[in-house]
Amino acid sequence: MVDAYPPLDHEYALDRDCTTLSRHVLQQLQSFSPDAQDLSALMNRIALAGKLIARRLSRAGLMEGVLGFTGDVNVQGETVKKMDIYANEVFISVFKQSGMVCRLASEEMEKPYYIPENCPIGRYTLLYDPIDGSSNIDTNINVGSIFAIRQQEGEDLEGTASDLLQSGRKQLGAGYILYGPSTMLVYSIGRGVHAFTLDPSLGEFILSNENIQVPEHGPIYSVNEGNFWQWDESIRNYTRYVHRHEGYTARYSGALVGDFHRILFQGGVFLYPGTLKKPEGKLRLLYESAPLAYLIEQAGGRASTGTQDILDVIPDKIHARTPLIIGSKEDVSLVESFIQEEAREKEEKLIARS
Ligand code: AHM
Ligand code: MG
């Protein structure tokens, strides 16, 4: 006879191994050293910010003053949403109380935010995009938050935060929170990439995927093809290539975190190349491209500007932008091969002309 109520595998999985985020961070570092404690506490604070933002998003359509624009324009020249401001302040407020983060640098603030009372205790800097893909908010489509943790170098007495103008290899950890059908937190502290799902009944992020590896190649290409007219010929040639070959499928949600998440699990490539209007592309290095590049390398994939690994790029300012090509190794290399071919052809034409 068939059991009317067969045990559900996932329930057993949770009973057996209900690993919370803070426990996981400590396990990863195999230590209770002050550094490990710091990272664990930092991740806990980021998780708290994620829970607060997720809670507000989940009721956004029912509350006054949550959706829509503030009427302001941020340092990037982009219109600001009310949720951008709320989420930015959530991160500041959870880290004000933490005692560990001395500076926060975000997409929504022209200059870093200093918490001087924390500086003698914890010399960490949090870089973040509080709401990535905020154009999705008003239509209830997925958005995310992206973060990176760096150690402050030097005293920064002038408050210029110039030590942040270093490559992404300086990141101690990075990750994102995806506000989708469920809320997920994906992070790495240099020991693989791990995903946690928020169990709303527990109010805890519980380990759901450990040591994620991105496939070497995948079917997805994720790019805003509405920018075709603004692209360099190499990117046009790449899209022509995928249009003419079997095995590719387009996915683009307008929120980098969601598009990246799909590629992390299923393979493929996300690209936001330079355009006529934005020659360096749209995405910002320090709190969008570099954190995701850190994750994808940890997952066995690649992130490139087209000519350089994202993690080697040194920004000239905090809000610097870079073209981004990120995902499965083979797919990133394929895009790069079109860029290289175009560069070769241009060089040959120059030589022929001279
Ligand atoms: P945001 O952080 O201001 O929301 O901008 C970043 C977003 C990414 O999430 C997304 O990949 C991209 O902008 C979409 O831009 P576009 O609408 O030009 O395709
Ligand atoms: Mg963003």
pLDDT digits (tens, 9 = 90+) for 24-63: 998 888 777 788 888 999 999 999 999 999 999 998 777 7
Q: Is the CB of 258 under 6 A from ligand 1?
A: no
Q: Which residues surround ligand 2, an ion (CB under 5 A)?
A: 129, 132
What is the average pLDDT value for the chain, to the nearest integer?
Answer: 91
Closest ligand 1 atom number to CA of residue 78: 3
Report helix, strand and coil shares of the chain as percent, to nearest 5. 40, 25, 35
The number of folded domains in the chain is 2
Q: Residue 226: inside a domain, yes or no?
A: yes
* Residue 37 sits in the same domain as residue 93: yes
Q: Is the CB of 281 under 6 A from ligand 1?
A: no
Q: Residue 21: inside a domain, yes or no?
A: yes
Q: What is the pLDDT of residue 13?
A: 56
* Residue 227 sits in the same domain as residue 202: no
Which CATH number does the domain housing residue 341 bear? 3.40.190.80
Neighbour-count burial for 253-272, b at 16+ CB within 10 Å, e otherwise: bebbbbbbbbbbbbbbbbbb
Which ligand is located closest to the Cα atom of residue 324? 1
Give the pLDDT mean for 270-297: 97
Q: Is the CB of 132 under 6 A from ligand 1?
A: yes
In terms of Cα–Cα distance, which of 129, 172, 165 is closest to 150? 172
Q: Residue 24: inside a domain, yes or no?
A: yes
With a cut of 70, say whether residue 3 has pLDDT above it: no
Q: How far is the CA of 33 from the centre of ligand 2 (A)?
A: 34
Q: Which of 145, 176, 209 is the last residue of a domain?
A: 209
Q: Residue 199: inside a domain, yes or no?
A: yes
Structural domain range at position 55: 16-209
Q: What is the pLDDT of residue 173?
A: 96
Q: What is the pLDDT of residue 222?
A: 98
Q: Which of 209, 244, 275 is the last residue of a domain?
A: 209
Give the pLDDT mean for 201-221: 96
Q: Residue 9: inside a domain, yes or no?
A: no
* Residue 145 sits in the same domain as residue 227: no
SS3 305: coil
pLDDT per residue over 84-125, tens digit each?
899 999 999 999 988 889 999 999 899 999 998 888 777 899
Q: Residue 70: inside a domain, yes or no?
A: yes
With a cut of 60, say whether residue 8 has pLDDT above it: no
For ligand 1, pick from 132, 136, 220, 262 the residue to mutate: most ligand atoms within 8 Å of CB: 132
* Residue 234 sits in the same domain as residue 137: no
* Residue 47 sits in the same domain as residue 190: yes
Q: Residue 6: inside a domain, yes or no?
A: no
* Burial grade of 323 (CB within 10 A; 0-12, 13-18, 19 or more): buried
Q: Which of 209, 236, 264 is the last residue of a domain?
A: 209
Q: Is the CB of 102 under 6 A from ligand 1?
A: no
Q: How confident is residue 7, by pLDDT bands cut at 50, 70 and 90?
A: low
Q: What is the pLDDT of residue 12?
A: 45
Q: Is the CB of 134 under 6 A from ligand 1?
A: yes
Whole-model pTM: value is 0.93
Name the token pair of 118: 């924390």
